[in-house]
Amino acid sequence: MVLEFSTWSRNNQWVQLQVSMEPGYKFQWVGRRDGHQIPQRLHAAFRTFGWKWPGKRITVLTQPPADLHAGSDAALSVAVLVGSRQWPIRVQEVYSLYGSVDLFGKILPVPGDVLPESWPASSRFHLVPMEWKRHFSGNNAVVGVGTLQDIQNFLHHGMRRDQGASVQKKEIIWPDLRLSEDLQWFFLVVAAGAHPCFLMGPPGTGKTQMARLWWKLLDVTCEGGQFLEPMPPRSAHVPIGSWLERTEGGCLFLDEVGEWPLKALEALRKPLEEAQCSTLYIAASNPCPCGFQGHASRPCTCPPGRIQAYQRRFSGPFLDRFQLYAYVQADPSDESVVWSEVRHRLKRARAMQSKRGLGLNGQLPADSLGKALLVQEAAWTDLRLWQQRTGMGERSVHAVLRVARTMADLEESVGVQPRHIRLAAHWHWSNQGLISKSDLWGPAHSWSTLGAPRSPRPQSSQP
Ligand SMILES: [Zn+2]
């Protein structure tokens, strides 16, 4: 198979890149001096998104022969990912691509490169780094891309928002998501306020699906950023700063955190606390090594000591970074989420938040909590009582206040009422219970038995 793309050469010319892929292993590029390092470097970039450098014989040729630099990385990456069928896309047109690819899959201009004056006539679209796009804001054929994922999205849908007004948004087909009544309420609260949350539950129960849907809802309602699900790190080195930066306004999904090295988990703490960004971050984990603790029909096969040890990996300060916690479990009898209603309620809750002009509740800075909340006197009393009883710190109090505000917004209530505080406190306390009070998951104490806020029975805050 031979694929063709246009790319930008060292002497500022658009040239044709031909990439052939055959069975075998050798990589050969006529025209790149650093050719031998490319497979390893791009492999690292691909892994950020779950792709890999394929075991193929790959030969790259430039027409006419030209001296290429790192700006041709993007074109090669796309050829390799399409050619190895990791991107299920049929490229029917010639695209011009320019940009170097860093180790996290970000598309960047090569320092010192000049902007092109003319574009190749054979290409219908020209994909360039975001930094270049702003110089061509009137030209809809020039598309700015931030990462390899953006390129894939563009090739897949053939269009993107930043192409300008001439492009219509593709209608999203909402999948059938089945959740219990209280998980539906939880789902809505997270979506409305973009609250960082921790999902625990057996494998295959929809944790990843929920995270992706939250992101889609953010995207639909707020023109959000991208979704990123990085590969679990193998060492303490976690590029969390870069992840947060890239998912600004979007969603960062940290899956299988129970399998992460302890040092990697600890490395997340400080950046998550200090993050001044609008990323919705979500972590997910199995509840135990075998994955089935708490499952309705499949027994857990782990010795009790191992479950404790597994859950103790999540330290209190780590869990504190999340405002909400849920045990997710699929049950065939659960009801389908009615998307039209979710979107309707979301829109109204978001309207309440934008009227306040302080951003989404999940990301309210601590010093503006007082202005935003309008907490009823009785609700404050409940909150302080709960704080005394549980010994929770100020950070937890803030988390509870943010979540309670979202619950009030979803009910279009001007003030935060005691029942909002009580349910939010209970949801947050269940989170803390993960380490030392795992019996909280028992049916008598699980937040999921509390029901929707219309009839809260919060044991944790009653005197
Ligand atoms: Zn188990």
**Claim to verify: residue 210 and residue 353 sit in the same structural domain:** yes
User: What mean pLDDT comes out for the span 214-227?
Assistant: 78
Residue 168 lies in a domain: no
Mean pLDDT of the chain: 80
Q: What CATH number is given to the structural domain containing 214? A: 3.40.50.300
pLDDT in tens, 122-144: 888 889 998 888 788 778 788 88
Residue 424 lies in a domain: yes
User: What mean pLDDT comes out for the span 425-446?
Assistant: 48
**Claim to verify: residue 129 and residue 261 sit in the same structural domain:** no
pLDDT in tens, 363-396: 888 777 777 677 888 888 888 888 887 777 888 8
**Claim to verify: residue 227 and residue 349 sit in the same structural domain:** yes
CA–centroid distance, 287 to ligand 1, in Å, is 7
CA–centroid distance, 245 to ligand 1, in Å, is 35
User: What mean pLDDT comes out for the span 316-325?
Assistant: 85
CA–centroid distance, 273 to ligand 1, in Å, is 31
CA distance 438 to 435: 6
CA–centroid distance, 328 to ligand 1, in Å, is 15
**Claim to verify: residue 319 and residue 442 sit in the same structural domain:** yes
CA–centroid distance, 286 to ligand 1, in Å, is 9
Domain enclosing residue 428, as ranges:
178-461
**Claim to verify: residue 209 and residue 159 sit in the same structural domain:** no
CA–centroid distance, 313 to ligand 1, in Å, is 15
Task: Give me the pLDDT at residue 163, please.
Answer: 43
CA–centroid distance, 302 to ligand 1, in Å, is 4
The more confident residue out of 157 and 289 is 289
Residue 278 half-sphere exposure toward CB, CA atoms < 13 A: 16
State yes or no: pLDDT of 301 exceeds 80.
Answer: yes
Contact 371, 155 (CB under 8 A): no
Provide the 3-class DSSP secondary structure of residue 282. Answer: strand
**Claim to verify: residue 148 and residue 261 sit in the same structural domain:** no
**Claim to verify: residue 118 and residue 208 sit in the same structural domain:** no
**Omega prior to 64 cis, within 30 of 0:** yes
167: confidence class by pLDDT, cuts 50, 70, 90: very low
Contact 329, 296 (CB under 8 A): yes
CA–centroid distance, 425 to ligand 1, in Å, is 28
**Claim to verify: residue 68 and residue 202 sit in the same structural domain:** no
Residue 32 lies in a domain: yes
Q: What CATH number is given to the structural domain containing 125? A: 3.30.230.10
CA–centroid distance, 331 to ligand 1, in Å, is 19
450: confidence class by pLDDT, cuts 50, 70, 90: very low
Domain count, the chain: 2
Task: Give me the pLDDT at residue 172, please.
Answer: 62
Task: Give me the pLDDT at residue 189, please.
Answer: 95
Percent of the chain with pLDDT over 90: 15
**Claim to verify: residue 261 and residue 342 sit in the same structural domain:** yes
**Claim to verify: residue 347 and residue 214 sit in the same structural domain:** yes
Q: Which residues surround ligand 1, an ion (CB under 5 A)?
A: 288, 290, 293, 300, 302
Tokens of 139: 């030209």
DSSP tag of 171: P
Q: In the chain, count of helices (H) and strands (E)? A: 15, 16
pLDDT in tens, 180-199: 888 899 999 999 999 999 99
What is the Cα gyration radius of the chain?
25
CA–centroid distance, 259 to ligand 1, in Å, is 14
431: confidence class by pLDDT, cuts 50, 70, 90: low
State yes or no: pLDDT of 282 exceeds 90.
Answer: yes
Residue 35 identity: G
Residue 171 lies in a domain: no
pTM: 0.60
pLDDT in tens, 403-422: 999 999 999 988 888 888 88
CA–centroid distance, 445 to ligand 1, in Å, is 20
Task: Give me the pLDDT at residue 224, please.
Answer: 66
**Claim to verify: residue 220 and residue 156 sit in the same structural domain:** no
**Claim to verify: residue 89 and residue 223 sit in the same structural domain:** no
The more confident residue out of 119 and 370 is 119
Task: Give me the pLDDT at residue 404, please.
Answer: 92
